[in-house]
A and B are shown apart, each in its own frame.
Chain A
Amino acid sequence: MGTTSKETLSSGEILEIIDIVKRIHGFDFGDYTKASLKRRMERIVMLKKISFYDLKHMLVNSTDFFQEFLEEITVNVTEMFRDPAYYKALNSQVLPYLSTYQHVKVWCAGCSSGEEAYSLAILLNEANLSQRSFIYGTDINTEVLKEARKGIYSLRKIKSYAENYTMTGLPGSITDHFTIMYDAAAVHSELKQNTLFSVHNLISDTVFNEFQMITCRNVFIYFETELQERILDLFYRSLCPLGYLCLGNKETIRSDAFRKKFKAINQKENIYQKIGS
């Protein structure tokens, strides 16, 4: 047999790290899916070329390291217009209803570096709703929020979303919504002015506003079912009557209790509408 180049952590070691992070830094990863968490932690150990004991030591003694750890543990990979069919569905099934509201407040939960929030801003702008809409982007990671607030991405990255954009059926091209400066692309200021990015922890923070739509895509995949249900409850309480909840492409509401509170209006794209009071 060959020897693997990868450092592996046992489930006991993973639990020890979770415990340290909770006690010292107040972040609770206890209800995160274990296989993914294990992979992220092993990646840190590999990138930093450290042992499990070094990892524990650094988590206890270095605040700077914890920030780095947090960035690595929380997956911040995102795309603009990821799943074009979802944006098409929003356009045809959700925006016509949202346009009946005087003010449209959208919460983009787990917004990472802002790509999804700005995709929504573009979509709302194309539907002539931007004057009456406001997008709140939240994440637990302060570093990615800085990126989101800047709204400046590499031109190469923005161009890689061109195919997604075209497939949504929106007019023109994705670069029409950016000011290009050499190899950087800055989101147009009229798109940025209706956005606000701030820290919010889905696990420990509570309702902070009432929304017509909440999008939380590819966040639940990292959570165990019980935690998902606690957050579904938070979303339920944060939505106005008949407000919309949009989960990721593969994130279906499985709980019977919440299937009664959220009606699926697009089963394939996991777009739900709050029912009941």
Chain B
Amino acid sequence: MALNSEIIEQWQRSSVLLIGGSAGSFKIIFRMVKSFPHDLNKTVIIVMHRKKNFFSEIEKLFAENSRMLLVEISDKEEIRGNAIYIAPPNYHSLIEANGHFSLDVSDAVWYSKPSIDVTFESAADVYKDKCTAILLSGANQDGAEGLLQLRNAGSLTIAQSPEDAEMADMPKAAINLNAAKYVLTSTDIFSLIQSNT
């Protein structure tokens, strides 16, 4: 499927962009972070599977290459309008209706903490049709159920096309659940997020 005016229009109406990725998603997420203009005027929330205790330089690398404010989520962090948030390792990140993040250390979901499902499901309750969610490459099925709840709540839901993804399982699981309203290649995903300006 290619981009059409309906997708672009709902993207432009969205105040929030959710990005979920696992194995094989790092490069594309990094490219997205680099490509966002300083005045995207959306909240970007990134949930990437990562190993605990592995003090990665991801935040630093992302922050240095981003034109937007980039923060790792901490407890009761206020969700601002023009900023990028990254879910920390070994916690689930949830969206509260009062405009804050909250964290949770309960069991891993699909062996993952942070879990994409947990963030997406809580976002579905709060953002409804004001949200675009993209599920990228990954080797498990985290994110599919969350993407479905977002779709049912009226969000624009997109899965990276499995042929295009380094690891097809995650977008495939979402497609099988009928959670993705659109299935796009990474090229189209980039065109979409750049159609803002």
Contact = CB atoms under 8 A, between A and B. Distances in A.
A221 interface: yes
A75 B75 contact: no
Contacts of A221: 75, 91, 102-105
B74 A35 contact: no
Contact of A35 (B95, B145, B177, B179): B95
A4 B74 contact: no
Given A39-B118, A225-B76, A250 B94 contact: no
B128 to A, nearest CB: 13
A6 B149 contact: yes
Contacts of A228: 76
Given A11-B97, A167-B53, A39 B105 contact: no
Interface residues on B, range: 20 to 34
A230 to B, nearest CB: 15
B18 interface: no
A250 B145 contact: no
A220 B97 CA distance: 18
Query: Quick one: which of A5, A6, A78 has the most chain B CB within 10 A?
Result: A6
B9 interface: no
B129 interface: no
Interface string B153-191: 000000000000000000000000111000000000000
Interface in B85-121: 88, 90-91, 94-97, 102-107, 118, 121
Contact of B122 (A35, A78, A225): A35
Interface of A: 1-2, 4-6, 8, 11, 33-36, 38-40, 75, 77-78, 82-85, 163-164, 167, 218, 220-222, 225, 228, 248-252, 254
16 contacts: A1-B151, A1-B152, A11-B97, A33-B94, A33-B96, A34-B97, A35-B125, A38-B122, A39-B94, A39-B118, A39-B121, A77-B105, A82-B90, A167-B53, A225-B76, A251-B74
Given A4-B149, A77-B106, A250-B88, 6 more contacts: A2-B179, A8-B149, A33-B96, A35-B94, A36-B106, A248-B75
